[in-house]
Amino acid sequence: MTEITRNRTIRPSTRLEKSKSYKIDTKTVSRGDILVVNIDHETKPFRKSYKFNGSDVAHKDSISFRVNDYGTSIDISWSGATPIGTVTSKSVTPATVTKPLTKKVADKVVSKPITADTKTSFDPISNADTTVLILGTMPGDKSLELGEYYGHPRNRFWKIISTITDNDLPQTYADKKALLLKTKIGIWDVAHKANRKGSLDSAIEDEAPNDLDSFIARHKNLKVIGFNGTKSQVFFDKYFDRKSGLKYISLPSTSPANTGIDFDNICKQWRQLLTK
């Protein structure tokens, strides 16, 4: 097994606001290799490293990551592959230090057994302008395979978002993420990690939550949180308290498994996200 390293530096001084995606060449990565991507920043004390299985990237010419810079912290969102783990994470900026779990979360989270069915969610897609956050439970198997939110071809999420925002249906994942940022919509999942066979929400076990309290505190313009399906709302209320000043909306799931509602009706309910 060979470890192949790629180093990239975030350089906002040389990139337009609309071009914050950085490509990683994977043409020479073989299935038995491990790809390590080290990311730092040209002016900030930021460094993170990610590992990828060669089998996940060997058939691709490249993968990419997008930078969401909040000033006091930086989020990295991957497209094309899912990291198998963070090697290092270091920053001397006080605001990026991990906060202790709130009592409600700490009381609910217990040590989780790691199994072959343990799955990990993606980084959020959002920026400082985000006013609406849509929460799912965690990515399904097809999404994990593609390294993309709502990657199953029969999931109606992207068609719904384009319809309710009066935009054309985006064809690439980069265009999908750009649509979210343009319309001030963010997406994430309640579960950071869980054991689950298959993709059904009902099969999720031993879940541990993402740090949604920190996300909410960081996004000063956030007004609405929408739950994509009942299970995401159940998980949220299990680990977090609802905050005054935010509007919470329960929405029918966009999952292919939800066949009980037609497209016009699901869009009608999802338009609640955009009402003032």
| CB-CB neighbours of 23 under 10 Å | 14
The answer for residues whose C-beta is within 8 angstroms of residue 244's C-beta and 6 or more apart is none
Nearest Cα neighbor of 54 from 7, 2, 123 is 2
178-194: string of b/e by CB count within 10 Å (b at 16+)? Answer: bbbbebbbbbbbbbbbb
> Which residue of the set 7, 38, 127, 155 is catalytic?
155
End-to-end Cα spacing for the chain: 55
Amino acid (1-letter code) at residue 54 = G
What does DSSP assign to residue 241?
Answer: P
**Structure tokens that stand for 201 in this block:** 């929400």
Catalytic residue check, 155: yes
Q: Annotated catalytic sites, by residue?
A: 155
